[in-house]
Chains A and B, each alone.
Chain A
């Protein structure tokens, strides 16, 4: 038990150090622009098809389920679209989108850095006088801070479009009725944006930490990748809860 507590304390300390170091270097602009752009392409552009596909199906499912309930309980579909958009902007697009991205981006970062760690590439980098956090973590953090919110907007867009078609085809709700923004407030948009930006920071940092902590060959890389996805998902859920509580006055009416 003591060993577990000691390990958690050590990992928390090391993770905090990584976060501080990464942000200090980020604000000092200690990164090469070309590397950030390449990372943005690798992490962002290459996730578009994945996020579009998954979020479209999630949008379809959510509208189908909500529509059945609305039809069964009140028999009126006019609030289906406005309610769905509100929840999508404030909750589902950032949270579910980020969880999806954690599996795509987080696993990728952890596997790449984990492989570099167990093959001693990180040690070699250090011995060349380079700082692994500056060379490897900061470009990924910068790329994710831009690309994750962008992908989350895209995720919301695809979920909305898919939902709109589901509502039209299954429940005969006109596009104009579904795409109504009357329930959406600026508070919802602020909360959604805050979550998107937070998740954009969490995914690369948690995943990079898992990768840099990898040990024991390919088995260790696999464990690091699994750890990255689990820890990132838990962090996203926890932060989602925290933002919902802390920003309650912003979106509650």
Chain B
């Protein structure tokens, strides 16, 4: 289980990005985190792997308080938690295959040749083998995003955090990602998905938390969200430009 207890974060003198966030993500579940742009969703997720440090509050992974872990201690946490960044973040100097292979070689301490074989298997799973030897600069955003997902999955994490995994993907690739989330759930991987994609949100999520004005505005099942009369939720689901957001 991943748990946020009273988490708060602000950058400099600006208003807080997160304020007193309480959220539990049960093992094996698919938790979506939604909200308007700038609501602090990505910042919240980065707390799990120590890329952002909380001003106050705690972050627990498997009951272990990782809030104040240094880089060395975080290594163990990062073995458990995979992370797919919003902007894909493939290494520019490596082709797609080597981007995945480097991660495998580092995580599992295997020789580069073995890592490349495993990497190719992961790329095939994501229908990316035609792009294996292309460099990130030559690829579209969607392919890069899928390669980043392949890299994260290749590390066999128990938890997987996706930051807008379907943004920039065509509808077919987006639904493939949804299907992949379902497959990984079947394998017991706990997944947290930051998303604006309503088809994903309502089709794949076990539970949904909405961040609004630096706080968890509502947390519940997709059905509860659909049935909610809350004006913020209604506006988010309808995409109306007029409303409280």
Q: B213 interface residue, CB < 8 Å from A?
A: no
In the complex, how many angstroms separate the beta carbon of B13 from the nearest chain A beta carbon?
13
Check if B89 sits within 8 Å of A129, measured CB to CB. no
Residues of chain B with a CB closer than 8 A to A135's CB = 102
Contacts A116-B92, A129-B75 given; does A124 touch B85 at CB 8 Å: yes
Q: A182 interface residue, CB < 8 Å from B?
A: no
Check if B107 sits within 8 Å of A123, measured CB to CB. no
Q: B83 interface residue, CB < 8 Å from A?
A: yes
Check if B89 sits within 8 Å of A130, measured CB to CB. no
Q: B78 interface residue, CB < 8 Å from A?
A: yes
In the complex, how many angstroms separate the beta carbon of A21 from the nearest chain B beta carbon?
11
Chain A window 108-120, contacts with chain B (Cβ cutoff 8 Å), 1 for yes, 0 for no: 0000000110011
Chain A window 94-131, contacts with chain B (Cβ cutoff 8 Å), 1 for yes, 0 for no: 00000000000000000000011001110111111110
Chain B window 80-120, contacts with chain A (Cβ cutoff 8 Å), 1 for yes, 0 for no: 00110101011110000000001100110000000000000
CB contact between B91 and one of A125, A127, A129 (< 8 Å): that residue = A125
Q: B196 interface residue, CB < 8 Å from A?
A: no
Check if A121 sits within 8 Å of B90, measured CB to CB. yes
CB contact between A120 and one of B85, B102, B106, B155 (< 8 Å): that residue = B85
Check if A121 sits within 8 Å of B89, measured CB to CB. yes
Check if A116 sits within 8 Å of B91, measured CB to CB. yes
CB contact between A130 and one of B79, B83, B87, B102 (< 8 Å): that residue = B102
CB contact between A129 and one of B85, B92, B103, B148 (< 8 Å): that residue = B103
Q: B224 interface residue, CB < 8 Å from A?
A: no
Check if A120 sits within 8 Å of B87, measured CB to CB. yes
Complex Cα–Cα for A116 and B155 (A): 21
Complex Cα–Cα for A129 and B79 (A): 7
CB contact between A123 and one of B51, B75, B155 (< 8 Å): that residue = B51
Complex Cα–Cα for A135 and B98 (A): 13
Chain B window 33-73, contacts with chain A (Cβ cutoff 8 Å), 1 for yes, 0 for no: 00000000000000001010000000000000000000100
Check if B106 sits within 8 Å of A127, measured CB to CB. no
Q: B151 interface residue, CB < 8 Å from A?
A: yes
Within 8 A of B (CB), among A175-220: none
Residues of chain B with a CB closer than 8 A to A120's CB = 85, 87, 89
Q: Which 4 A-B pairs have the closest CB atoms?
A: A128-B103, A124-B89, A129-B106, A130-B106
A-B contact pairs, 29 of them (CB 8 A): A116-B91, A119-B89, A120-B85, A120-B87, A120-B89, A121-B89, A121-B90, A121-B91, A121-B92, A123-B51, A123-B89, A124-B85, A124-B90, A124-B91, A124-B148, A125-B91, A126-B71, A127-B49, A127-B51, A127-B78, A127-B82, A127-B83, A128-B103, A128-B106, A128-B107, A129-B79, A129-B103, A129-B155, A130-B102
Q: Interface residues, chain B, CB within 8 Å of chain A?
A: 49, 51, 71, 75, 78-79, 82-83, 85, 87, 89-92, 102-103, 106-107, 148, 151, 155
Known: A120-B87, A129-B155. 16 other contacts (CB 8 A): A116-B91, A120-B85, A120-B89, A121-B90, A123-B51, A123-B85, A124-B83, A124-B89, A124-B91, A125-B91, A126-B71, A128-B106, A128-B151, A129-B103, A130-B102, A130-B103
